[in-house]
Structure 1
Amino acid sequence: MTTAPPSDARTPGATGRPSPASLPPAPGGSSPRTDPVVRALAVLLVINALGNGLFLTVSTLWFTHGLGYSASKVGLALTVAGLCGILASFPAGRAADRYGAKPALVALHLAQAVAMAGFAVARSYPAFLLLACTVTAGSRANSTVRSTLYAHSLPATTRTPALGLLRAVNNVGIGAGAALGTTVVALGHTGAYQAAIMINAATFLLALIPLRTVPAQAHLAPAPAAADDEHRGKRPASALRDGPYLAVTALNAIVNMLYVVLEVALPLWLVNYTHAPRPLVGTLLVLNTTLVVALQVRATRHTGDLPTAARSFRTGGLLTALACATAATAAHHNPTAATAILLTAVLLLTLGEVTSQAGSWTLGYALAPDHAQGAYQGVFQTGVSVTQALGPFVVTALVLPHGAAGWCTLAAIFAVAALAMPAVSRRAERRWAAMPPAGTRTGP
């Protein structure tokens, strides 16, 4: 199913909400690669991603072997922390709207630095649980506030390509941090683990240096005029009551479960249900990271308006579904065949990832009002948080035990969400196009 640009798309200055397709080109035709704001954001991300990659590599071993907690206790703490993460995104977005994304991000980085440093010495389980909740909630809130900062500091015409570049940079930083973490794991000393935790804490503070040069609210439209009472009832009272946007958020959350497939389902499937060699788990993750770095920017080239973004999302979701169906066939094959099948599945999954993400960025920003980007990004990120919290249970309890049938059911869910997005996003766009802008009067 294809979609065409709506016939009532508005241009800036006309009544209604401007479509991304109708926005003028960026001043001077600047490229995201040469934009000083994008460069500052890239430095911020690579510093933070370096610490995140380091932490992700060493954290589980440190929690179990260094701090001495059982796997079940660590799992419980991370589950509770995941639930806290779900609750953090929307309030963080509201705070970014009210106080500004930069001040909110500074506060979050300071809190995350303190909480992360606490992991180095958290010998009490209640303290460990509190720190886990703080770090996870801070991470989800950070994602929301950063998304709001992108809306405030990057022009709509170059935002999606810039986000593609930033995501590639983020993956480079995570890869470098993971490589450093591998060295820490090889050393195996308590001091090395604690140093790694403290380095990650320090990256939250170092990342504040490039943040200073990012303009605040440079591309933020003014809030609706208070005098616009006659149209106030036609607009969603809040992001939580914007039904079409919530539907887009739900479909995006479903397809975002591809990360759980990559990080949880495929490794467990490989180890427990196939004859593929176990070291292939690392190879699959490296392949994914490398391809994201190479392809993410290119994937944003055809997502400049809502119809093409929805089609891109649909293509990505269908590729993800095909990846799941492919992975299902890896069972009961010899090691060579299983390896080839799983490599193909990760290739398809990564293509689905970069394509669906490119589409979701345009959808998430363009369907939100500029004056409430924080609240809307909070809703959008809450959907992702739900996926991250519940996704591991879904794949381990409802997919893997049922083998190929479970994988095919998951593939069908991805496909249905992907195919629904163009129609759902078109409905959301028409809703905005039908609403007069703040300050516009249609009666005498």
Structure 2
Amino acid sequence: MTTTSTDSTPSVPAPPAPAPIRAPGRLLPTDPVLRLLTWITVANALGNGLFFTISALYFTRILGYGVAQVGVVLTVAGLCGVLASIPAGRAADRWGSKRVVIVLVAVEAVGSTGYPLLHGLPAFVLLSCVVTALDRGVATARSALYAEVLPSEQRVAGRAYLRAVTNVAMGLGGILAGLTLQADTRFAYNLTVLANAVSYGLVALGMLRVPSRPAAAAPSVARTRAERRNPALRDLPFLAITGLSAVLTLQFAMLEVGVPLWIVRDTHAPRVMVAVSMTINTALVVLFQVRATRGTEQPGRAARVCLRGGLLLAAGCLLFGLAHGLSPLLATVVLTLALVVEAGGEVLTQAGTWALSYDLAGDRAVGAYQGVFNAGTAATLMVGPALITLGVVGHGMLGWLGFGLLFAVAGVALVPVSRWAQRRAALA
């Protein structure tokens, strides 16, 4: 593991601030690799924005599956995604993250073309599981790829920049998908699904131009049993960080599921606030995600960034709860403030947990560590909607306070756990 000293060690100077991602007045990054990854991200996010916007209606109205069936299938597919993350990370270490990304995303492109051909529920289950597993595998290998091809002092800021690009491109994809929703024909839906598949093909082609790095793992004939074991699964501090980061990831289910239901069911705010909430969040993430990475150069500092983010998320939960029972105008004001505070917590926790996942990873097993970390994230994304609906919706202020406390505890706990991880790293 890396041997970064704790912040309390006076003999270790603070690392220099990373160079800016973009030159003043420029939209694209100065680093050529990050610039290439930007265009790849645009293609991928546009396709995802198209598909995610129409998927629920496509599965129910066009393919004819019931709402309950779709929910169960997507939950099972999410579990497959969780299970795929860890082996994908190990594969990235053994065969190279670039190669794994290209293979998985190319297969995903082919698999995505199968949706218009589906007949019967078993086929829907099988295809959804395969595509979701491939997608989570790609996400894991891509995270390892960022660690390989981006300068170490810019990998977190670079990933933040790509997240901002993702939000913009997905928003554009959602707008384009509105044309499909307006047409509301089988041909239009199928064309949109195929456009998403084409975007995966473009990602695979773009990845061919990304600089290659040799795989770190030794040949299988020379590997001992201990070397074949996943080091991340034996790293207790890293597993604790993964679990706490996964708790903070519940914020996405809160925003996507809990907040819309709360606005419509339990406040007097106009329903248009549901759409406004996503717009506010997207805009603030685009504007501030890269800035939020400042100060995450060392694990101790990154953990404190997570602490501040967790407390902001808790404050956002309190504000959401306070919107209940207010007049439409006051509820709108309080909800807007809550959304701003929540977005601040989001960009800080994302920046801090990314930095921890990279800095505390093993030098020769980045894929393994990213696989375990992404498995925790995928598990939260799978169970998050159910936890939010059961724990917040219908429980009023008590539910929001409970989730706020959960975010605060996770943020606070990351500080001592990161120190534990650094002590373990120093002894390794």
What is the correspondence of 1:274-289 to structure 2 with a 5 Å cutoff? Answer: 274-289=267-282
Matched residue type, 2:9:
S
Q: What is aligned with 2:417? A: 424
Q: In the TM superposition, what whole-angstrom CA distance separates every residue of 1:300-357 from its partner, at most 9, and x where no partner exists?
A: 1221111211111111111111111111112212222222222221111111111111
Q: In the TM superposition, what whole-angstrom CA distance separates every residue of 1:138-190 from its partner, at most 9, and x where no partner exists?
A: 22111111101011111211111111111111111111101111221122121
| Cα pair distance change 1:25/1:322, threshold 3 Å | closer
Indicate which of 232, 237, 249 corresponds to 1:256. 249
Q: What is aligned with 1:354? A: 347
What is the correspondence of 1:230-379 to structure 2 with a 5 Å cutoff? Answer: 238-379=231-372
Q: What is aligned with 1:176? A: 172
Deviation at 1:121, TM superposition (A): 2.8
Indicate which of 79, 88, 93 corresponds to 2:75. 79
Q: What is aligned with 2:101? A: 105
**For the Cα contact (< 8 Å) 2:81–2:132, is it kept in 1?**
yes
Deviation at 1:221, TM superposition (A): 7.3
Q: What is aligned with 1:208? A: 204
Q: In the TM superposition, what whole-angstrom CA distance separates every residue of 1:246-269 from its partner, at most 9, and x where no partner exists?
A: 011111000011001111111111
Q: What is aligned with 1:166? A: 162
**For the Cα contact (< 8 Å) 1:57–1:181, is it kept in 2?**
yes
Indicate which of 368, 384, 396 corresponds to 1:403. 396
| Cα pair distance change 1:141/1:297, threshold 3 Å | same
For 2:30 and 2:308, how far apart are their aligned partners in 1?
Answer: 30
Q: In the TM superposition, what whole-angstrom CA distance separates every residue of 1:252-299 from its partner, at most 9, and x where no partner exists?
A: 000011001111111111112222222221111111111111111111
The reply to whether residue 388 of structure 1 matches residue 346 of structure 2 is no
| Cα pair distance change 1:237/1:181, threshold 3 Å | closer
Deviates most, 298-307 or 242-251: 298-307
**For the Cα contact (< 8 Å) 2:306–2:414, is it kept in 1?**
yes
Q: What is aligned with 1:438? A: none
Indicate which of 168, 185, 194 corresponds to 1:198. 194
| Cα pair distance change 1:296/1:30, threshold 3 Å | closer
What is the DSSP-based 3-state SS (H/G/I as helix, E as strand, rest coil) of the residue aligned with 2:394? Answer: helix
What is the DSSP-based 3-state SS (H/G/I as helix, E as strand, rest coil) of the residue aligned with 2:387? Answer: helix
Identity rate of aligned residues, in percent? 44
| Cα pair distance change 1:331/1:241, threshold 3 Å | same
Matched residue type, 1:49:
A
Q: In the TM superposition, what whole-angstrom CA distance separates every residue of 1:176-232 from its partner, at most 9, and x where no partner exists?
A: 1011112211221211111110000100001123212211228x8788xx99x9xx9
For these two proteins, the number of residue pairs brought into alignment is: 416
Q: In the TM superposition, what whole-angstrom CA distance separates every residue of 1:52-100 from its partner, at most 9, and x where no partner exists?
A: 0111110001111111111001001011111111101000000111111
What is the DSSP-based 3-state SS (H/G/I as helix, E as strand, rest coil) of the residue aligned with 2:65? Answer: coil
The reply to whether residue 135 of structure 1 matches residue 137 of structure 2 is no
Deviation at 1:417, TM superposition (A): 0.5
Q: TM-score, normalised by structure 2?
A: 0.91
Q: What is aligned with 2:25? A: none
Matched residue type, 1:5:
D
The reply to whether residue 124 of structure 1 matches residue 116 of structure 2 is no
**For the Cα contact (< 8 Å) 2:88–2:141, is it kept in 1?**
yes
Deviates most, 236-245 or 190-199: 236-245
| Cα pair distance change 1:6/1:431, threshold 3 Å | farther
Structure 1 stretches (4+) deviating beyond 6 angstroms?
A: 8-11, 220-223
**For the Cα contact (< 8 Å) 2:216–2:365, is it kept in 1?**
no
What is the correspondence of 1:430-441 to structure 2 with a 5 Å cutoff? Answer: 430-435=423-428
Deviation at 1:25, TM superposition (A): 8.2
For 2:340 and 2:398, how far apart are their aligned partners in 1?
Answer: 21
Q: TM-score, normalised by structure 1?
A: 0.88
For 2:217 and 2:367, how far apart are their aligned partners in 1?
Answer: 14
Deviation at 1:8, TM superposition (A): 8.4
Q: What is aligned with 1:48? A: 44
For 1:146 and 1:237, how far apart are their aligned partners in 2?
Answer: 18
**For the Cα contact (< 8 Å) 1:8–1:433, is it kept in 2?**
no
Q: What is aligned with 2:65? A: 69
For 1:246 and 1:269, how far apart are their aligned partners in 2?
Answer: 33
**For the Cα contact (< 8 Å) 2:96–2:216, is it kept in 1?**
no
Gaps of 5+ in 1: 12-20, 436-444
**For the Cα contact (< 8 Å) 1:9–1:433, is it kept in 2?**
no
